């Protein structure tokens, strides 16, 4: 079946550190891939997405590249800020009878000043 | 920027009681969804809805659950007889189309606690 696996947290980094959160997926066909972010006390917000192989999604300094050969969509940021502290969810959308998003388990990121 | 809204933000209920969670999707969106997140677990798909019909539902969405679009703006999730294990954060989402490339926009969630 379709699934998403992401690195377990929590991840704690110092401000200005480089961030990578690994995500791999299993899906038949051609899913779209997403990163959603959940800030403390808030709902899910789309961070970025990529809809076909080799696409790069980017937003707010975050990037992720859709790698079909390795079935991966790792999230990266060159220099994190305290305000990036949140839970990050990797997800895919694979049409079956209707569109539905399948989420990974989430990675909690904490940034120290 | 348009956004999905949900009410209430928190709901506490007794086991066996009925609850209705309300959502106002983005106005030009045609596809609506409910997801839930049990504390510490994954966000799980419950149901999708289009043209006043359920398009797909998960195994979680049993006969205790129902969805409705009672008017042109609201989209509701009803749990007929709540169980302790229904305690979770419930997210509503909407999208313009059912394409896999389309972004689903999520509301802030309703935290349901069943005692």
Q: How far is CA B70 from the centre of its chain?
A: 14
Does residue B77 register a pLDDT over 80? yes
| pLDDT value at residue B9 | 94
Quote the tokens at residue A97. 């009878």
- CB distance B48–A44 less than 8 Å? no
Residue recorded with tokens 């990050």: A88
Rounded to the nearest integer, the mean pLDDT of chain A is: 92
- Asked whether A94 and A3 are in contact (CB, 8 A), the reply is no
Residues 31-60 of chain B with CB under 8 A from chain A are 31, 33, 35, 41-45, 48, 50, 55-56
Alpha-carbon distance of A78 to A95, in angstroms, equals 33
Residue A96 has pLDDT above 80, yes or no: no
Q: Which of B50, B46, B52, B49 is nearest to B64 (CA)?
A: B46
CA-only gyration radius of chain B, Å: 13
The most confident of A29-43, A96-110, B5-19, by mean pLDDT: B5-19
pLDDT tier for residue B49 given thresholds of 50, 70 and 90: very high
Report the residue of chain A nearest B43, measured CA to CA.
A103
Contacts of A100 in chain B (CB under 8 A): 33, 45, 48, 56
Residues of A in contact with B106 (CB under 8 A): 36, 43-45
Is the pLDDT assigned to residue A98 strictly greater than 70?
Answer: no
Report pLDDT for A42. Answer: 82
- What is the structure's pLDDT at B34? 97
Nearest CA distance, B71 vs chain A (angstrom):
23
- What φ, ψ does residue B11 adopt, rounded to 5°? -145, 125
Residue A41 confidence (pLDDT): 78
In tens, the pLDDT along A29-56 reads 788 999 999 998 788 999 999 999 999 9
**In which band, very low, low, confident or very high, does the pLDDT at A97 lie, cut at 50, 70 and 90?**
low
Least confident span in A9-13, A40-44, B85-89:
A40-44
Mean pLDDT of B23-28: 94
Closest Cβ opposite residue A95 in set B93, B100, B103 = B100
State the average pLDDT over residues B88-115.
Answer: 92
Q: How far away is chain B from the Cα of A39, in angstroms, using its nearest Cα?
A: 10
Q: Who contacts A5 (Cβ-Cβ below 8 Å, separation ≥6)? A: A23, A24, A25, A26, A104, A105
Torsion angle defined by CA atoms of residues B113, B59, B67 and A41, in that order, rounded to the nearest 10 degrees? 40
């Amino acid at each position: 079946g379709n699934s998403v696996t992401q690195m377990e947290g929590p991840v704690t980094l110092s401000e200005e550190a480089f961030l990578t959160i690994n995500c791999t997926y299993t899906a038949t066909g051609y899913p779209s891939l997403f990163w959603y972010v959940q800030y403390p006390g808030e709902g899910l917000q789309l961070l970025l997405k990529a809809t076909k192989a080799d696409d790069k999604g980017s937003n707010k300094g975050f990037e992720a590249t859709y790698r079909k050969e390795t079935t991966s969509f790792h999230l990266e940021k060159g220099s994190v800020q305290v305000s990036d502290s949140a839970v990050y969810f990797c997800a895919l959308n694979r049409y079956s009878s209707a569109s539905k998003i399948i989420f990974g388990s989430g990675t909690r990121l904490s940034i120290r000043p | 920027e348009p956004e999905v809204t949900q009410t209430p933000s928190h709901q506490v209920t007794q086991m066996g009681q009925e609850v209705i969670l309300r959502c106002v999707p983005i106005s030009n969106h045609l596809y609506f969804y409910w997801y839930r997140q049990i504390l510490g677990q994954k966000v799980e798909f419950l149901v999708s809805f289009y043209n006043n019909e359920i398009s797909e539902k998960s195994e979680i969405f049993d006969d205790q659950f129902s969805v409705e679009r009672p008017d042109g703006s609201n989209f509701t999730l009803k749990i007929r007889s709540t169980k302790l294990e229904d305690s979770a954060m419930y997210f509503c989402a909407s999208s313009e189309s059912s394409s896999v490339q389309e972004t689903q926009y999520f509301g802030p969630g309703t935290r349901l606690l069943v005692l």
